[in-house]
Amino acid sequence: MNAALPAIDRARLPKHIAVIMDGNGRWAEREGVSRAAGHEAGAKSVRAIIEACRELENIEVLSLYAFSTENWRRSKLEVDALFRLLSKYIKIELEELHKQNIRISIMGRIFGLPKKAQADLQHCIDLTKENTAMVVNVALNYGGRAEIADAAKQIAKDAVAGRVKPDAIDEATFAKYLYVPQLPDPDLLIRTSGELRLSNFMLWQMSYAEIVVLPTFWPDFRKPHLYEAIAEYQARQRRFGGRVKK
Ligand code: FPP
């Protein structure tokens, strides 16, 4: 079975993989089912990528873009279906995630989510907070610009209160005000379904991420696609603005 997987070097895995899970709607259209059914199928891919990352052992963080600040523009029917799915997913999967020693982290304007979702998410965070094998960081009601604006607002408040000196604000200080400052920046961003956009995802943290775009619709994404993306990442030379290390 594993023979069919693209070859990857387990000693050089990205520490943090971020994913824009795109194409649920187009998959649904192709299959002749509802958009909600497309998201439901997408949830199976979420399970598959978490399992595959966990199995690789040295991936520290997997960030998943599940609901953006712009997604509220979708029909109420679709938005409601997405949050119902989230609660259902938590009910079915949380125990196994916990057993796998996975810590759940949430980033975004959580207070703007439906109350039931907030309660379910808080339960995930509380239950898994001591887990150490891997972090699954889910972006919900998340926007990269909103995150930067929220950080700026908090820095301004701290400056007014005398807790931070304006002249002392540098990149490291600013980064401490982001939603999940303790996580490393993504090394690899995977976007499915062929679109070549960041779509407001982790704008600050993506500065030096390698971007791999796959044509696959998210509901079709499985372990071989993850390995393909990692293999492409490993074939790149990361220079971080400097010269290639010899
Ligand atoms: C993008 O497809 C996908 C989303 C906006 C939602 C992502 C949600 C899931 C994968 C479901 C479950 C998630 C969790 C964390 C349990 P799209 O609808 O924009 O597709 P399209 O561009 O083809 O219309």
Q: Coil, strand or helix: which one is 135?
A: strand
What residue spans of the chain are helical by DSSP H? Answer: 24-31, 35-56, 76-99, 115-128, 144-160, 171-175, 223-235
Pick the closest to residue 72 from 159, 172, 143 (CA basis): 143
Decide if 2 is catalytic.
no
Q: Is residue 148 part of a domain?
A: no
* Residue 220's CATH number: 3.40.1180.10
Q: What is the pLDDT of residue 4?
A: 84
pTM (2 d.p.): 0.95
Separation of CA 82 and ligand 1 centre (Å): 8
Query: How many domains is the chain built from?
Result: 1
Edge-to-edge strands, sheet with 16-20? 102-107, 134-142, 61-68, 16-20, 188-191, 210-213
Q: What is the pLDDT of residue 1?
A: 47
Q: Is residue 226 part of a domain?
A: yes
Q: Report which protein residue has its CA nearest ligand 1's atom 1.
A: 22
Q: What is the pLDDT of residue 245?
A: 56
Q: Report which protein residue has its CA nearest ligand 1's atom 3.
A: 22
Q: Could you count the other beta carbons within 10 Å of the beta carbon of residue 83? A: 16
Atom number, ligand 1, closest to the C-alpha of residue 219: 10
What percentage of the chain carries pLDDT values higher than 90? 94
Q: What is the pLDDT of residue 206?
A: 98
Cα(102)–Cα(61) distance, integer angstroms: 10
Separation of CA 40 and ligand 1 centre (Å): 9
Q: What is the pLDDT of residues 69-97, one digit of tens each?
A: 999 999 999 999 999 999 999 999 999 99
Atom number, ligand 1, closest to the C-alpha of residue 217: 23
Q: Is residue 21 part of a domain?
A: yes
Across 50-63, average pLDDT: 98
Q: What is the pLDDT of residues 155-208, one digit of tens each?
A: 999 999 999 999 999 999 999 999 999 999 999 999 999 999 999 999 999 999
Atom number, ligand 1, closest to the C-alpha of residue 40: 11
How high is the mean pLDDT of the chain?
96
Cα(139)–Cα(107) distance, integer angstroms: 5
Among the listed residues 2, 9, 22, 200, the single catalytic one is 22
| Domain residue limits at 201 | 11-143+185-233
Q: What is the pLDDT of residue 2?
A: 53
